Amino acid sequence: MPARFRPQLPENIKELSRLLTSGRGERTLSYLGRPDYLSAYIRYFLPWNLYRLCRLLPGIELSLVPGDTITDLGCGPLTFASALWISMPRLRNVPLEIRCIDLCGPIMEAGKKFFAALTGGSCPWKLRIIRESIERSASGEKPAALVCAVNIFNEVCGRLPHSDTEGQRLKAVNAARLLHSLASASGSILAVEPGIPNSGQFISLLRNALLEHKRLPLSPCPHALVCPMPGGFASNKRIKNRWCHFAFETEDAPKALHSLSSAAGLPKERAVLSFLLAGPTTADRNKPEKAAQNPVRIVSDAFSLPQNNSGRYGCSALGLVLLTGDKASIDKTASGALVNPEFNISGQRDIKSGAMTAKLKN
């Protein structure tokens, strides 16, 4: 970046952040065509999005083999392809075709340059750059082994309050229909969104809609039954439901990125995301995975409980679970971990949340 542009970068990042959140109504379709916003996106939003994805991807099962195709909807600066290259080195020698679809030409061109620098220009992957809307991009294309949509549905649903459950549901139904149509019967679908309440609610609704297409959730859900954390509001419209999201500390992110984030007034001490990986179509969509063991996915930070114990909330086929144990054991069991605790055989529930109680095995 030329030195004369560097002093404006933090302000440009701050303004772009506003346009992506509270000011999204002021945004034009070509907003990332502006050099100042494009520069801000590449230097702040791209690395933080890479950071989140590179934490997520190694922990989920992406079954990709030579010759497979990935369809990346709303690819931006090829964020998903770059994250896949960085975080999954076992795939670097696997011939893949990645269809990178977005309406913004400048952001995709910037992504091509970044990806070429990242891979040193030597990569067996074939990247197809498709400048098109996500709804019109798939006509005549062969269904993909993996369809991914990263940070696009929060823009689609961003103007809908999470009190508008029906509006959110219809958006999720349309999204599921599109994603299902783009994926092969044996393929998978990955949706990743910011870990905010609206996105958590949308991911839960998307999960329901994909189940209607007989696509079971593979992760983070340890079951295919009713989602115990649907987000939105309870039936009385006054109490907010919990939403599924995962948070992690960012102390290992580059110092230069932290410095730039602080200068823009947008420090990132924690990164948060909501996501769903849905699998191939199946005839038995109501059968929970590993139901006999009742595995629990940890979905909260640790908190103190009486008698020097600690707890974390989790998701299981039995519904919401309060996992308890000594502080050291609970602290070691990070958000996102999958565990097999010992359930309270009396069926005792947590008074505050109504969750089943279970004890973490040492």
DSSP letters spanning 231-295: -SB-TTSSSBPPB--EEEE-TTS-HHHHHHHHHTT---SEEEEEEEEEEEE-S-TTPPTTTTT--
Write the CA distances from 86 to 22, 66, 285, integer angstroms.
Answer: 32, 18, 34
Q: What is the largest CA-CA distance in the chain?
A: 68
Q: Hey, which residues does 247 pair with through a beta bridge?
A: 272
Question: What was the pLDDT predicted at 288?
Answer: 44
Say if CB 82 and CB 112 are below 8 A apart: no
**The pLDDT of residue 238:** 64
What are 10's two structure tokens?
């933090």
Helix (H) or strand (E) holding 326: strand 319-326
Q: Write out the DSSP string of 190-235.
A: EEEEESSHHHHHHHHHHHHHHHHTTEEEEES-S-SS--S-B-SB-T
- Give the residue among 217, 228, 158, 209 at the shortest CA–CA distance from 190: 217
Check if CATH label 3.40.50.150 holds for domain 3-281.
yes
Q: Which of 213, 345, 215, 361 is nearest to 276 (CA)?
A: 215
Q: Print burial letters for 90-116: b (CB count within 10 Å at least 16), e (below 16).
A: ebeeeebbbbbbbbbebbbebbeebbe
pLDDT, residue 175, reads 95
Q: Which pTM value belongs to this model? A: 0.92
What pLDDT is stored for residue 133 in this prediction?
A: 84
- What per-residue confidence (pLDDT) applies to 154? 83
Mean pLDDT by 10 residues, the chain (362 residues): 85 93 76 89 96 96 94 96 97 96 93 95 93 74 94 75 82 95 96 92 96 96 93 71 92 96 95 96 52 81 90 93 93 92 83 89 76
- How far are the Cα atoms of 335, 343, 349 from residue 308, in angstroms, in the given order? 20, 20, 19
Residue 250: both structure tokens together? 């960012």
Question: Is the torsion defined by CA of 274, 278, 284, 285 positive or negative?
Answer: positive
pLDDT of 26 reads 81
pLDDT at position 29 is 67
* Amino acid 5: pLDDT: 81
**249 and 267 in contact (C-beta within 8 Å)?**
no
